[in-house]
Amino acid sequence: DSGVTQTPKHLITATGQRVTLRCSPRSGDLSVYWYQQSLDQGLQFLIQYYNGEERAKGNILERFSAQQFPDLHSELNLSSLELGDSALYFCASSVEPHAGKLFFGSGTQLSVL
Amino acid sequence: EDQVTQSPEALRLQEGESSSLNCSYTVSGLRGLFWYRQDPGKGPEFLFTLYSAGEEKEKERLKATLTKKESFLHITAPKPEDSATYLCVAYMGSGGYQKVTFGTGTKLQVIP
């Protein structure tokens, strides 16, 4: 158990809808990262927050947004969903703002039908 | 463009048959090279960090090494429980800028 909690584990929705994925980092970790993993692609970095502020942005679509709250949990909002958004979404956390050593949650499997 | 390439894409070994996984990287400002293990439907699990050429790290049947252009993950006498996808990750940057690039992984299957 990495200590990173993601909910829900599975999410099935329709095109055009909006969903929210939630992540609680390990106790003491200030940095939260969101990754997307599709069947035919490796892990794609979306966005990072450190202590409530956006730290780095990757290949995140404009339809997607995220935030980190004062209690350090984070939410990833996906809107106007398309079939191609179906993927595993991982949250990871680390103590430091610049870190390659990450602790990953077990992911949210999103299926857009 | 920063690139991390892993080979082979898939590897099938008999139990006890040692082999190596390769990770070649073309990046600027490498700060560290990481190896992760990922089981199906689960998040990656950290294995090793390597910071400089010549460095080696070991854990049970796994040994990771680093040169200036590539890293190897050696698996000695593997067991079926070693079956997983192994991911190589380059960590780059300096100052306030940092970037992490994942390779697409090597899917290892160890047959009893």
Distance CA A58, CA A76 (A): 14
The two three-digit tokens of residue B105, written as one number? 């992984």
Q: Chain A residues with CB inside 8 Å of B42's CB? A: 106-107
Distance, in angstroms, between B77 CA and closest chain A CA? Answer: 26
What backbone phi and psi angles, to 5 degrees, belong to A60? -95, 130
Side chain identity at residue A22, one-letter code: R
Interchain contact A89–B (C-beta under 8 A)? no
Interchain contact A45–B (C-beta under 8 A)? yes
Residue A13 has pLDDT above 60, yes or no: yes
- Taking CA atoms, what residue in A is nearest to B37? A104
Residue with tokens 């006498």: B77
Express as a percent the part of chain A with pLDDT over 70: 96
Distance CA B74, CA B86 (A): 11
Q: What number of C-beta contacts closer than 8 Å exist between A and B?
A: 49
B interface with A, Cβ–Cβ below 8 Å: 31-32, 34, 41-46, 49, 87, 89, 91, 93, 98-100, 102-105
Q: Chain A residues with CB inside 8 Å of B43's CB? A: 2, 4, 90, 92, 104-107
CB contact under 8 Å between A100 and B43, yes or no, is no
pLDDT 10s digits, B81-110: 999 999 999 988 765 566 788 898 999 999
pLDDT at B97: 62
List of E strands, chain A: 5-7, 10-13, 19-24, 31-37, 43-50, 53-57, 64-68, 74-78, 87-94, 103-104, 108-112
pLDDT at B95: 59
Interface test with B, best of A102, A106, A108 (most B CBs within 10 A): A102
Residue with tokens 């460095």: B55
pLDDT at B66: 96
pLDDT at B100: 81
Interface test with B, best of A44, A98, A106, A108 (most B CBs within 10 A): A98
Nearest to A79 by CA among A61, A59, A99, A94: A61
- Please name the member of A4, A43, A109 whose beta carbon is closest to the beta carbon of B102: A43
pLDDT 10s digits, A47-84: 999 999 998 888 899 999 999 999 999 999 999 999 99
